[in-house]
Amino acid sequence: MGDNVNRQVRLAARPTGTPGPEVWDHTSEPVPEPGEGRLVVRISHISLDPAMRGWMNAGRSYIPPVEIGAVMRALGLGEVVASQHPDFAVGDLVTGTFGVQEYAESDGEGLQKVQPSDAVPPERYLALLGMTGMTAYFGLFDVGALREGDTVVVSGAAGAVGSVVGQLAKIAGARVVGIAGGAEKCAWIVDELGFDAAIDYRSQDVGRELRTAAPDGVDVYFDNVGGEILDAVLTRLSLGARVVICGAISQYNAESAPAGPANYLSLLVNRARMQGFVVFDYADRYGDAAKELAGWLAEGRIHSREDVVEGTVDDFPDVLLRLFRGENTGKLVLRLQQA
């Protein structure tokens, strides 16, 4: 990389199914110069999130789609390398929505200063101490209305959000059952994260295993995957259960419209509710949640695992697919190699 070149990945076409190479344009342009009240960040870490797949689709959603020809939207972390902004100095480390590129210009809106340390690596600010932690926190405590003694089931339990949800539920005094893919992930969430039980959806019948793992029913189901697993858990709801719809990664690359939940009448029978949420709605409370999460982290009551891949921005399309193949454990981050 030359000192004045900014390599980028742009959305070239709306994907059908799994996004392949034809969806992306690899471009470069000069590194921007900040105008008055603006700054430039050299990006070191790019967050990879299942929500990215939805951002590629046209149509109404909680956030406008990425336009064709635009730099792909992504959360990231980096260092301020030029600034004409009164609140940001060269050398500051910041997180924000920078996109899949090496440099980003910003007016400072939405940027957060961070201070990594030996105990807190920079990528953790894209994981537990970033949007991932916020999603788990507000989804479980606000939308899920967790109570001590509840039985909580989490799908995608070895993923970025799911692994945090389970640990938060344990801190709050709940019984926690995680659903994950593969023996290694199931062992990790039980042995290292303290989940009470794990179900391997690849080799076990989820509905049958839930009868053993949650014999009194499920009070809170935190759903990251949708599809057949959602249907299976709906059959095990307790009276007054809360189903939290965070995501549906099993459906994101479907080439035809997925069927709706077949067992939704369980909501009626059990006077339960199913509610979706978007973490951005809680932005005015991020600071309070971050303090609580950081405190639990420092006390060793919660663990954050980042799955860091070293590469360049050109590696982004391939690394993204790891999410949909279930190859990541914890939070997937692309760390950019500096030339």
Tell me, yes or no, whether 219 lies in a domain: yes
- Is 320 contained in some domain? yes
Rg of the chain on CA atoms, in Å: 20
* Residue 283, pLDDT above cutoff 70: yes
Q: Is residue 295 part of a domain?
A: no
Does 275 share its domain with 140? yes
Q: Which helix (H) or strand (E) holds 334?
A: strand 331-336
Query: Do residue 86 and residue 138 come from a single domain?
Result: no
- Is the distance from CB of 236 to CB of 214 less than 8 angstroms? yes
Instruction: Determine, yes or no, domain membership for 299.
Output: no
Task: Report the SS3 class of residue 263.
Answer: coil
Does 118 share its domain with 199? no
Cβ-in-10-Å burial (0-12, 13-18, 19+) of 310 comes to exposed
Q: Are residues 96 and 207 in the same domain?
A: no
Q: Are residues 148 and 114 in the same domain?
A: no
The reported pLDDT for the residue numbered 326 is 84
Question: For residues 102 and 8, is the Cβ–Cβ distance under 8 A?
Answer: yes
**Domain of residue 324, residue span:** 5-127+304-336
* 75 found inside a domain: yes
Amino acid at the residue 240: G
Look up residue 71 and give its DSSP letter. Answer: B
Interaxial angle between packed helices 131-138 and 160-171, expressed in degrees from 0 to 180 and rounded to the nearest 10: 50
Q: Is residue 206 a contact partner of residue 226, using CB atoms and an 8 Å limit?
A: no
CATH code of the domain in which 255 resides: 3.40.50.720
**Structural domain contains residue 69:** yes
The answer on 142 and 110 residing in a single domain is no
CB 293 within 8 A of CB 125: no
The predicted-structure confidence for 12-45, as pLDDT tens digits, reads as follows 999 988 899 999 999 999 999 999 999 999 999 9
**Same domain, residue pair 64 and 88:** yes
* Highest mean pLDDT of the ranges 48-62, 255-269, 278-292: 278-292
Nearest to 315 by CA among 40, 24, 73: 24
Closest CA to 150 of 131, 169, 124, 133: 169
Mean pLDDT, rounded, for 322-339: 87
Q: Are residues 139 and 259 in the same domain?
A: yes
Confidence label for 117 from pLDDT (cuts 50, 70 and 90)? confident
Per-residue pLDDT tens digits for 214-225: 999 999 999 999
Are 226 and 322 in the same domain? no
Residue 75 has what DSSP assignment?
Answer: E
Q: What percent of the chain has pLDDT over 90?
A: 83
Residue 293 lies in a domain: no
Number of domains within the chain: 2
Regarding whether 159 and 241 lie in a shared domain, the answer is yes
How far apart are alpha carbons 133 and 149 in whole angstroms? 22
Contact 146, 221 (CB under 8 A): no
Overall size of the chain counted in residues = 339
pLDDT, averaged across the chain? 93
The model's confidence at residue 126, banded by pLDDT at 50, 70 and 90, is very high
pLDDT tens digit string along 82-100? Answer: 999 999 999 999 999 999 9
DSSP state of 13: S
User: For residue 43, what pLDDT is reported?
Assistant: 98
Residues 226-269: tens digit of each pLDDT:
999 999 999 999 999 999 999 887 676 666 777 778 999 999 99
Shared-domain flag, residues 238 and 264: yes
pLDDT at 1 over 50: no
Report yes or no on 298 lying in a domain.
Answer: no
Question: Residue 220, by phi and psi: left (phi above 0), alpha (psi -120 to 50) or beta?
Answer: beta
d(CA 267, CA 242): 9
**165-217 pLDDT, tens per residue?**
999 999 999 999 999 999 999 999 999 999 999 999 999 999 999 999 999 99
Q: Answer yes or no: do 224 and 314 share one domain.
A: no
What pLDDT, on the 0 to 100 scale, is given for residue 2? 46
pLDDT score at 62: 83
